Amino acid sequence: MKASPKSLLAVLRGTRQTRPPLWLMRQAGRYLPEYRALRETKGGFLELCYDPEAAAEVTLQPIRRFGFDGSILFSDILIVPHALGQTLWFEAGEGPRLAPPLIDSALTALEAAPERFDPIYATVARVAASLPAETTFLGFAGSPWTVATYMVAGQGSKDQATTRRLAFGDPAAFQAIIDAIVDVTVTYLSGQIEHGVEAVQLFDSWAGSLSPAQFERWVIAPNAEIVRQLKAMHPDTPVIGFPKGAGGKLRAYADETKVDAIGLDETVDPDWAERVLPQHLPVQGNLDPLALVAGGAALDAAIDRILAAFPARPHIFNLGHGIVPDTPIAHVEHLIKRVRGG
Active-site residue identified among 19, 26, 116, 313: 26
- Place 94 in a pLDDT band, splitting at 50, 70 and 90: confident
Element (H, E) at 317: strand 315-319
Percent of the chain with pLDDT over 70: 99
**Alpha-carbon distances, residue 280 vs 24, 113, 259, 262 (angstroms):** 22, 41, 13, 11
| Dist CA 38 CA 30 (whole Å) | 10
Q: For the segment 190-218, what is each residue's pLDDT rounded down to a tens digit? A: 999 999 999 999 999 999 999 999 999 99
Q: Is 89 left (phi over 0), alpha (psi -120 to 50) or beta?
A: beta
Residue 4 has pLDDT above 60, yes or no: no
Q: Is 288 a catalytic residue?
A: no
Q: Is residue 189 part of a domain?
A: yes
Question: Quick one: average pLDDT of 131-138?
Answer: 97
What pLDDT, on a 0 to 100 scale, did the predictor assign at position 146?
A: 98
Does 136 fall in a domain?
yes
Q: Which of 69, 76, 204, 265 is catalytic?
A: 76
285 in a domain, yes or no? Answer: yes
- Asked about 39 being catalytic, the answer comes back as yes
Bridge partners for 72 per DSSP:
138
What mean pLDDT do residues 66-93 have?
96
CATH of the domain at 222: 3.20.20.210
Which of 150, 204, 260, 288 is the catalytic position? Answer: 150
Segment holding 301, helix H or strand E: helix 296-309
- Rounded to whole angstroms, the Cα distance separating 37 from 57 reads 12
What pLDDT, in 10s, does the model give residues 9-23?
A: 999 999 999 999 999
Tally of domains within the chain: 1
Residue 333's region, left for phi above 0, alpha for psi from -120 to 50, else beta, is alpha
150 pLDDT above the threshold of 60: yes
Q: What is the DSSP string of 227-257?
A: HHHHHHH-TTS-EEEEETT-GGGHHHHHHHH
pLDDT at 329: 98
Active site residue 304: no
User: Which structural domain, as residue segments, surrounds residue 327?
Assistant: 7-339
Residue 196 CA to its chain's centroid (Å): 17
Among the listed residues 13, 16, 30, 65, the single catalytic one is: 30
The answer as to whether 146 is a domain residue is yes
pLDDT exceeding 90 applies to what percent of the chain?
Answer: 94
316 bridge partner residues = 284
Give domain status of residue 277, yes or no: yes
Reported pTM = 0.96
Residue 161 in domain: yes
Q: What is the pLDDT of residue 122?
A: 98
Q: What is the pLDDT of residues 220-262, one digit of tens each?
A: 999 999 999 999 999 999 999 999 999 999 999 999 999 999 9
Is 2 a domain residue? no
Within a domain: 1: no
Average pLDDT of the chain, as a whole number: 96
Q: At 236, which amino acid appears? A: D
Tabulate helix, strand, coil % of the chain (nearest 5): 50, 15, 35
**165 in catalytic set:** no
Q: What sign has the CA pseudo-torsion 5, 232, 189, 251?
A: negative
The one catalytic residue in 39, 97, 116, 313 is 39
Q: What is the DSSP letter of 34?
A: H
Active site residue 26: yes
Q: How far apart are CA 266 and CA 263, in angstroms?
A: 10
